[in-house]
Structure 1
Amino acid sequence: MTTFYAWVVPAYFSGSPVDHTWVTSYDNRAHPYADIAAVKKAGQSNWYCWGDFHASGGASGHPDGFVGSRKGADPVATCLVQPNRSCNDSPAARGTIFKYGIDGVCHQLANQVLSATGTKGKAPLTVKGVRGYAVSTFLYGTYGLQQAAWQSKLENCAGIKPLRSMPRTAEERMEEFPDDFEETARAALSDKPELLARLMALRSDVTAYTARRMPGFYPPDADFLNARNQHLLDQAAALLGPEDFYKVFGIEPGERVDVVDPTILGSQGD
């Protein structure tokens, strides 16, 4: 078994209420490898999660960047998402977040890696609690919008020996995996079941809408995606009102939350 570590750094612009997340097989507080060559030489793994290499982390609420750790099956994680490669260079490093900002963002890809920490009856570690997470899971879910591809990926990796103690079919495994947004919303609106039901119905409509492929030859750019996402988030604010919106999302209504980094979207390959 390998111990997986989840990390954060602030997102790409100053003042953003969003964190970038990634995963390693080592504690970078004890072993701050200078670059990916040093990581490989040490026989360790770094999952970039649609970001750059980071020797260490640190963000508001997580001064040293550490989000959490748990033991899991390294062969499963490397089957699901290729480590030690940039997502721009290697499609295998993208898991099923094939198109950044369209299928999901770094939070969803980090969760795909961390799914290797789950066991039957125990949900895997996720990056729940980082800044912007409620927003990204409202829009993209816990593991991204490519649900059929994700279930297929899980099924293909389920034959690996360390995974045999886990649920045996993709459907069984999906039942073991959390819907972090729903859990957050239920906790925040526990005394308002009707409002919770309306929010979850809106969320279902939102993920169905965001999962649709845009017509046209060129993929949408970051400005378009962030504007679309903000519009969808504003619908939640109108439904919930300021107090309940803050309880669920941890931000004030109308606050700009650009979860799509234009530098990543503009550099991703085919």
Structure 2
Amino acid sequence: MSTLYAWVVPAYSSGSPVDHTWVTTYDSRQQPYRDIAEVKQAGEDNWYCWGSFHPTGGTPGNPDGYIGSQTGDRGIAECLVLPNADSNTNAAARGTIFTYGIDGVCHQLANQVLYATKANGSPPMTVKAARGYAISTFLYGTYGLQHAAWQSKLQACAGVQPMTRLPSSTEERVEHLPDDFENHARQVLSEKPELLDKLLALRAEVNTFAAQKVPGFFPPDAALLNARNQHLLDQAAVLLGPDEFRNVFGIEAGERIDIVDPTVLGQPIE
């Protein structure tokens, strides 16, 4: 058993309203390792989560970038997502977020690592305190859009330890997988059940659409993915109206927010 820590920095630019998230087995507030070599030498883990190595975290209003920690099964976490490896160059470090910006982004991959904190009777920790999380989970869900692959991954990693805290059957896994966006929306729109139902129906359509492969010979670039995502968010703004949209998503209706980091795809920032 180990403690897993979740961290944030602004995504791809200091002024970004969205956070990049990653996970470690150590508290970087107490031990800020300078590079991944030091992490490995100390016998610790750092899950890049489709980002680069960060010695410490930090965002406006959160100087150390710490957003939570919880005891977890390190063996399962390492099975679900390979630690101490770059997601861009090592497929095992991607979990089931196989294609960044299509299957999910860093939030979903960090959540896959943190699934190892699931205990009997209590849900796993997620990075729901990260900025932009409501937007990310509206588009990609809690664990990404590769649902069948994620279920298979959970089943495979359940055999890492003889005694595991992962659910024992496929049905139980499906039933108990957290849906952070739905939980958040239900809380915000608790007094407007009809509007909630319409938003969740739209969200189901959004996930289905986002999971479709973009036609063409080459993977779509960040600009195209962000334009698509913006269009999907704009549909939610039309449905909810400006006040409820702000309450649910934390941004103004019509405000442009790029959830897909172009630097992860090796592209310049516009």
TM-score range, shorter chain: over 0.9
Most deviating of 2-11 and 114-123? 114-123
Corresponding residue for 1:18? 18
Which amino acid counterpart does residue 101 of structure 2 have in structure 1?
G
Task: Please give the alpha-carbon distance, in whole angstroms, between the structure 2 residues aligned to 1:163 and 1:114.
Answer: 18
Asked if 2 retains the 8 angstrom alpha-carbon contact of 1:95 and 1:109, the reply is yes
1:122–1:73 distance in 2 versus 1, CA, 3 Å: same
How many residue pairs match? The answer is: 267
Tell me how far apart the structure 2 counterparts of residues 33 and 169 of structure 1 sit (CA, whole Å). Answer: 39
Distance, in Å, in 1 between the alignment partners of 2:162 and 2:42 is 23
**TM-score (norm. length: structure 1):** 0.96
**Which residue of structure 2 aligns with residue 9 of structure 1?**
9
What is residue 43 of structure 2 aligned with on the other side?
Answer: 43
Q: Hey, what's the Cα distance between the residues in 2 that align with 1:95 and 1:266? A: 20
Instruction: Give structure 1 stretches of 5+ with no counterpart.
Output: none
SS in 2 for 1:68: strand
Checking the alignment, whether the CA contact within 8 Å between 2:19 and 2:132 is kept in structure 1 is yes
Q: What is aligned with 1:192?
A: 192
* Deviation at residue 157 of structure 1 after TM alignment: 0.6
- Output the amino acid matched with 1:218: F
Task: Check the 8 A contact 2:189/2:196 in 1, yes or no.
Answer: yes
Residues 102-121 of structure 1: pairs in structure 2 closer than 5 A:
102-121=102-121
| Deviation, structure 1 residue 16 | 2.0
**Pairwise mapping of residues 36-185 of structure 1 onto structure 2 (< 5 A)?**
36-161=36-161, 164-185=164-185
Query: How far does residue 163 in structure 1 lie from its aligned partner after superposition?
Result: 5.1
Deviation track 1:236-269 (CA, whole Å, cap 9, x = no partner) reads: 01100111001100111111110101110237xx
TM-score w.r.t. the length of structure 2 is 0.96
**Unpaired segments of 5 or more residues in structure 2?**
none
Check conservation: 1:76, 1:163, Cα contact below 8 A.
Answer: no
CA contact (8 A) 2:95 2:109 kept: yes
Aligned position for 1:29: 29
- Cα distance in 2 between the residues matched to 1:163 and 1:219: 41
Runs of at least 4 residues of structure 1 off by over 6 A? none
